Amino acid sequence: MTNGAVILDVDGTLVDSNDAHARAWVEAFEAEGITVPFDRVRRCIGMGGDKLMPEVSGISEDSPLGVRIGDRRGDIFKKKYLPQIQPFPRVRELLQAFLNDGLSLAVASSAKEDELKALLARVAADDLISIRTSSDDADNSKPDPDIVEAALAEVKTRRAVMLGDTPYDIAAASSAGIPIVALECGGWTRKELVGAVAVYRDPADLLAQYAASAFAALAAGREPTVASIRTS
CATH of the domain at 54: 1.10.150
DSSP label at residue 191 = G
Verify that 130 and 191 share a domain, yes or no: yes
- Structural domain contains residue 229: no
Q: Above 60 in pLDDT, residue 211?
A: yes
- What's the mean pLDDT when you consider all of the chain? 92
**Same domain (yes/no): 136, 209:** yes
Q: Among residues 83, 108, 135, which one ends one of the domains?
A: 83
Domain boundary among 27, 49, 83: 83
**Percent of the chain as helix, strand, coil, to the nearest 5:** 50, 15, 40
Kindly indicate the confidence band of residue 229, based on its pLDDT and cuts at 50, 70 and 90. Answer: very low
Q: Which residue has the higher pLDDT, 218 or 138?
A: 218
Q: What residue numbers bound the domain in which 187 lies?
A: 4-16+86-219
| pLDDT tens digits, 106-157 | 999 888 888 888 999 999 887 899 888 877 777 888 999 999 999 999 999 9
Which CATH number fits the domain that encloses residue 173? 3.40.50.1000
- Domains of the chain: total: 2
- Between the two ends of the chain, the Cα-to-Cα distance in Å is 31
| Mean pLDDT, range 39-57, rounded to an integer | 95
Looking at residue 12, its pLDDT comes to 97
Q: What is the pTM of this model?
A: 0.93
Q: Above 50 in pLDDT, residue 82?
A: yes
**pLDDT at position 105 over 50:** yes
Domain end (from 42, 62, 83): 83
The continuous run of DSSP H or E covering 181 comes out as strand 180-183
